[in-house]
Structures are given as structure tokens and as C-alpha cells.
A = this chain, B = another copy of it.
């Protein structure tokens, strides 16, 4: 499908990206890859994905719009195109998703010059993997209720506390970390740091096991951890504001520094499954009720794609955040419903775990379904997302 509305630089870049991806599709992975970067468990997966990210970086598909002085490629409006082309090519996702879509954009807004130079290049190449320290066992959806404390000690801060839900923590060099520096103010008592993780004294990372039985997310304990003041982002007490920048990117309201690749519309895959699944002697793909469900799914995904496109047309957006703030909610529920449909189509075959050779598509659907709750719970449960949309976009009174 042809496209216009692009600058000549963007058109040239799109051509480059498409061509490069066609010629440089990565070799098949050594072991099954998970659906999303935050589910990466094993070192073999990490190594494979890290090397793919580096190649994409070198091809200028990552960090595309980041200024050159911080290791990027200094283009304008091209990251979106790169992401799109990677998605189109069906190549693997970027493992450093937290770095690219959260840390880098946040540091670009709130960081000092030296922080930018220190932190961004390694995030772009994928050499330094990032994780996120926003969730605590007691806080849940109430993100401002952070208990991890940071106490000033001269030029350093002493950090104590407990973070959970830390995807990629076991591979991470850095964490974006919210701490409480004052107990007097709920929101204004928060301060935002970047904190070294791997090998840093006092930091311990323990894998948490998901309902699938897989690892991939962690709890991180801080016991008298020293963080130099030079790693503080923005002012003391401004942590909430900085976190909002991060979440704007995480919730899909803005383009990060990269992160494209697989994980898109599962419609074709579901249709293929339906062709191989049987009901009363008929293929599920010939059962009209299943067909209706498949098409509903397809419409939701097409709607998500077209929302992304429409969000870029100011004349068709009365409220600038109305579409962007929907994307975490609609994306995570679309994935969940699609996976659930896959489970239903597979029928009794969905009882099988991925290790069973009889499991359709190597056990993809039930695992995807179970894992989908990561998406509907993490980064503000979808209940909270609905509050946010109702309050910030529709202007309804706060529910809390």
C-alpha cells in the first residue's frame, strides 16, 4: 500500500529500512522466543536478542531520532517508520524495551548533559539492559504509595526497599527507580534515580515465578544501597513528574527510541489454527461462530492500527491524549482476548503445555493467554487505565 505525507528524508529512510530488513533477517533463534521482551528468561534468548538489537542499531533502526551526540542517528520522525517496518518484516523484538521506550525518552527530557552521554549510548546498542523499579508489594495500582526510601548522605543517597514485577531485572545493568525522599507529601515526596543493578553492592535480584511456571520477572531488594547524587534525574521531590514522563511512553502515548518487531496482529495465526482445529467433524474455520469471533478480533487489531494513524492527524483529535492514553488498555485486552480465542479454538488441545509435541503451535495459545495477564495488570491495571481515561480525557471526577 503506497503512503504519502512523508518527507523525502522519511521516504528514503523507509526504503533503507525495508531493504535492510529484507536482506538481514536474523537467523532462527536457538530456543523458542517468548512473546514479549519482558518475558525473556534464558541467557541464550538474551544473547540472541542482544546481538539482533546491535545489528538493528548499526543499521540505524534503533535510536533513529536520538541526537548523534548521545549515540543516536539524529533523524526526525523516523523511529516510527523503523518500528513499523520491523513489525511488517516480523523480525524479533528489541530486548532492551525498558531502556528504549522508557529510560531513554525520560533521560532525554529530565537528564543532565552528562547523564545523557553516560546512559543513552549503551541503551541504544543493547549492551546495557534496563529494568524498571516502579512497583512495590504494598503499592500495586496506587503508584504514588512508594515505600522504598532514599536518604541523603552527603553526595550520596542510601536506598532501602523492595521492588517487584521487575522484568529483565536478572539481565539489567540499570534500573529506573522511584524512591520516597519525604514522608510528608505523598506525591511531592518522591525522587527519581537511575540505579546500577548488576553487581552493585546491596542489590539482590530474585526471580519471581509466573503463573505459567516460567520466570522472567523478578523482585529486587535494596539493602543500604549507595546511589550517587549524580544519578538523580531532575530535582529532589519531582519524582512523580518524571515518572509520568516515563509512563506516557510506556503506555504508548509517544514514540520511544525503538522497540518494533513481532507482537502484532495475531489474526492470521488464529485463522491458521482454526483451519487445523476440529469441531463436530468440521474445521473450526468453517464454524460461523468461530468465524465471527475471528473477525471481531481482526477488527479490534485493525482499529488499534488505525487509531495509531489517526492519533497523528490533529484535525481528527479533539483531545490530544484521547487516543494515546487508550493504547495500553486496548493493546493488552486485544492480546488477552486473542489468546483466549486461540485457547478456545484449540479446544481440548489447549490443555497441553509447550513441551508436549502434540500441542498446537508449540503450546503458544494457553501460554500466551496466561501471560496476557502481565499486560492487563502491569504498568497500572486496566482498571486504573479506565480511571485515567475517564478522568483525564472525559473529565469525570476522580474515583479515588
Contacts and interface: CB of A to CB of B under 8 A. Distances in A.
Interface in A249-308: 287-289, 292
Contacts of A287: 288
A279 to B, nearest CB: 11
A124 B197 CA distance: 79
A287 B291 CA distance: 12
A298 to B, nearest CB: 16
A285 to B, nearest CB: 13
Interface residues of A, number: 4
Contacts of A292: 289
A366 to B, nearest CB: 23
Nearest to A292: B289
Nearest to A290: B288
A295 to B, nearest CB: 11
Nearest to A287: B288
A280 to B, nearest CB: 11
A380 to B, nearest CB: 21
A292 B287 CA distance: 12
Interface string A159-202: 00000000000000000000000000000000000000000000
Nearest to A291: B289
A283 to B, nearest CB: 14
Contacts of A288: 287-289
A396 to B, nearest CB: 15
A282 to B, nearest CB: 11
A292 B293 CA distance: 12
A289 B292 CA distance: 8
A287 B289 CA distance: 9
A292 B292 CA distance: 11
A287 B292 CA distance: 12
A96 B289 CA distance: 44
A294 to B, nearest CB: 12
Nearest to A293: B289
A350 B289 CA distance: 24
A158 B292 CA distance: 62
A279 B292 CA distance: 15
Contacts of A289: 288-289, 292
A36 B181 CA distance: 64
A113 to B, nearest CB: 50
A387 to B, nearest CB: 14
A291 to B, nearest CB: 8
A288 B288 CA distance: 6
A397 to B, nearest CB: 14
A292 B288 CA distance: 10
Interface of A: 287-289, 292
5 contacts: A287-B288, A288-B288, A288-B289, A289-B289, A289-B292
A-B pairs, top 5 by smallest CB distance, nearest first, are: A288-B288, A289-B292, A288-B289, A289-B289, A287-B288
